[in-house]
Amino acid sequence: MNRKALLLIPAAALMASALPAASPAPDGAQLFQQRCASCHSVTPGGRAVLAPNLAGLLNRKAAATTFNYSPALKASNIVWTRANLDRFLSGPGRMVPGTRMVIAVSDPAQRSVIVNFIARPPSR
């Protein structure tokens, strides 16, 4: 082995140890608790106070439950598919101008985890 190669081995080892460790995959329940639960519930039959209950949301028409939805959301004719949930969470006011939902989730990985959590079958 030549001298240059021998010098590069320790340098590569140092650089590899300086790289940040991969962070663990985000947990859907934890992210929902942090980002959504102050307004929303996912408990079937749970009371909707600040925002609608999201239990059983997947494939449901927007504004289809008992809640004081904005006129914009009522008129949207959206069906909550995974793709529509992702799009809505990325910018609620862009997708439905006039919606009362103002919180966006800009990180696509976090949105995906939250959508998967909301889309799971409701637990009783």
Which H, E and C letters describe the chain, residue by residue?
Answer: CCHHHHHHHHHHHHHHHHCCCCCCCCCHHHHHHHHCCCCCCCCCCCCCCCCCCCCCCCCCECCCCCCCCCHHHHCCCCECCHHHHHHHHHCHHHHCCCCCCCCCCCCHHHHHHHHHHHHCCCCC
pTM of the model: 0.77
Residue scoring higher pLDDT (13 or 115): 115
Give the pLDDT confidence of 29-83 residue by residue, as tens digits: 999 999 999 999 999 988 888 999 999 999 999 999 999 999 999 999 999 999 9
- Structural domain contains residue 15: no
Answer whether residue 1 shows pLDDT above 70. no
**pLDDT higher than 50, residue 6:** no
We report the CATH number of the domain holding residue 99 as 1.10.760.10
pLDDT given at position 48: 81
Percentage of the chain surpassing pLDDT 90? 69
Q: Is residue 4 part of a domain?
A: no
Domain count, the chain: 1
- Is 14 a member of any domain? no
